Amino acid sequence: MGGGVHWAYRPLSVEGGGSGRSQGGFSDAIERHLALGWEREGLAPAAEADRATLCRRLHVVLTGLPPTPEELAAFLSDPSPDPVATWADRLLASPRFGERWGRHWLDVVRYADSVTLRGFVFREAWRYRDLVMESFNRDVPFGQFVREQVAGDLPGVAGTGTLEDRRRGLVATTFWMLGDSNLEEQDKRQLELDRIDEQLDVLGKALLGQTLACARCHDHKFDPIPSRDYYALAGILSGMRQLHHANVSEWTHAPLPGTPEEEARWAAAEGEVRRIEARIAALGKDAAPAVAKELKAELARAKAAARRPMAMAPTESGGTNLPVLRRGNWRTPGPVVPRGVLAAAFPSPCPPIREGESGRRELAEWLVHPSNPLVARAWVNRAWHWVFGRGLVASVDNLGTTGDAPSHPALLDELAAGFLRDGGSTKALVRRLVTSRAFRLSSDPADARVRASAARDPGNRWLARWKPRRIEAEALRDAMLLASGTLDASRRPGAPFPEGLAADFGHEPTEPVRSVYLPVFRNARVPGLVVFDAADPCRPTGAREESTVAAQALYLLNDPFVAAQARALAGRVSGEADAVGALWRLALGRGPGEGERRAAALHGAAAGDRGAAMVELAQALLGSLDFQTLK
């Protein structure tokens, strides 16, 4: 790997340096690297933000929810030397952390609960969604998290082989199955290759920060990824059986293993199904109708008892070496290549593939091997993006030659090496970022250093200040539910739609649960999430768009959901002596300023109806920039 090799492909050094777990050491390292850029660019870092701002910032980044008035008061009165660190530990231990950071990962892997074609519903995809959230809450080491998703269905990959591990491993491989395939494609070989191409695109962007799909038709024009390597990887994925072919193909499922008692109960129920079916067949067409409805009802009950929990998962079918396809056309094959990995990019070869297996086990081990520098870099860069609003490499899905240049490559490498030394702990990584000085910097334009930084560095590439940003669509909806007091925080994981739902068209979820628990239907996306730039579930999304369009203001003014939350919010303060002050505190986490209080009084006097005026004030606050912006 000579000096001319692009930064992204150079190996990481993970030797020495200790575990990196001390807050001070890593925070100092972050500041040290950032200070070099400040000095070079002639920037002075902003002052530290006030405690109320830091409290809201910390809550939203770690949990996706603003602090309640009670939480804010506790933070402001916290006597500990560093309340940010104290509260970071509390929030990282909260189940809300997994809901927030799990949603981030679901963006990256194009999570959905249906396919566009005819609106077919993925009945079991929710198990993967719940597993992802659980993994972040348990702080599953990232290497294990990756191995389970790539090859968790194979023996010995997911943990120690306990029943829980085997269940986790099967569900984790739903990672491969979530693509928006054209299942009506009549050329089934073309369908399979298109599906593998989509999976390689996700694998490359999500885990490696690389664009692989272009190598289907030709050698990559910029990165060291020849078509030979593409088809070496495609050969591995071709060893997964993931479709049942028919006129309209169907994705595969795998039964989740049960306890011995559950297996015995299911087996008995399956025997009962066979017995009843035999009785029905023996009766023939001459059976009395009443006897045949009765038996069919018994059969339905027996089938329900025999139904095993299923995972939307592939099954192993053994590997096949594929030829390089000229221009990606399976009808024009070239030389056959052995299954393998990106041999040109990294010095570590793919381990020998086990006889009779696809090679996914070896692919998983290669991905998380310390000599593969991209996975750790890509994940650390994503974490930085989700904390600060911009990655150290802004093109978070492309760390290759055509992506953006890293602003602080040495810092990213140091963080990635420390992440590996820490055993791949996402919580330890995130804690370092949110306890750093960079996280605490002010965005207040009253600070001359903030104004100077904004003028010299509008994109905040050098992080001399905090750059305000709008909270994401799900966080905005959840904050409205929290402010109105209608959020059902007791919602537990499970299927997000009725069991008998056949298609997603026209489905409108109305449950007051966190947005991560709503179904992600490709033909019936939640309007309030779409208008505020929720991730497109048809493609990997590492960095969401952030638009400002008229439809957003119209939604906040006219949508029934927003109006309902405004009424509920106004109702919460109707009995308060200082209703206006209570309204501001619930919605914005602060009391109204003198000018705001005067405007509220004038509006109430002009409206005549105090109750209606409070509802209108509540809706105005829910639509305000202060409510939408993370400062």
Whole-number percent of the chain with pLDDT over 90:
77
Closest CA to 315 of 189, 177, 179, 187: 177
For 503, the 3-state DSSP assignment is strand
Q: How far apart are CA 619 and CA 563, in angstroms?
A: 7
pLDDT of 391 > 90? The answer is: yes
Rounded to two decimals, what is the model's pTM?
A: 0.94
Residue keyed to tokens 């750059």: 467
Q: Give the model's pLDDT for residue 482.
A: 97
DSSP assignment of 60-106 equals: HHHHSSPPPHHHHHHHHT--SS-HHHHHHHHHHTSHHHHHHHHHHHH
Identify the pLDDT of residue 18: 40
pLDDT in tens, 202-235: 999 999 999 998 888 888 888 888 999 999 999 9
Binning pLDDT at 50, 70 and 90, where does residue 413 land?
Answer: very high
**If you average pLDDT over every residue of the chain, what do you get?**
92
Residue 510 pLDDT? 85
> Given the structure tokens 């298609």, which residue do they identify?
503
Q: Quick one: angle between helices 125-138 and 163-172, nearest 10? A: 120
Per-residue confidence (pLDDT) for residue 500, from 0 to 100? 82
pLDDT digits (tens, 9 = 90+) for 551-593: 999 999 999 999 999 999 999 999 899 999 999 999 999 999 9
Residue 490 has pLDDT above 50, yes or no: yes
* pLDDT at residue 290 is higher than 70: no
Of the listed ranges 8-17, 185-194, 422-431, 589-598, the least confidently predicted one is: 8-17
Give which of 215, 206, 209, 259 is closest to 234, Cα–Cα.
215
Q: How far apart are CA 581 and CA 576, in angstroms?
A: 9
Collapsing DSSP states into helix, strand and coil, what is residue 578?
Answer: coil
Cβ neighbours of residue 20 closer than 8 Å, sequence gap 6 or more? 26, 418, 421, 422, 432
Are 348 and 366 contacting, i.e. CB atoms less than 8 angstroms apart?
yes
Between CA 61 and CA 160 the distance in angstroms is 34
Report d(CA 266, CA 304) in Å as an integer. Answer: 10
Mean pLDDT, to the nearest integer, of 364-369?
93
pLDDT per residue over 337-359, tens digit each? Answer: 999 998 877 766 777 898 889 99
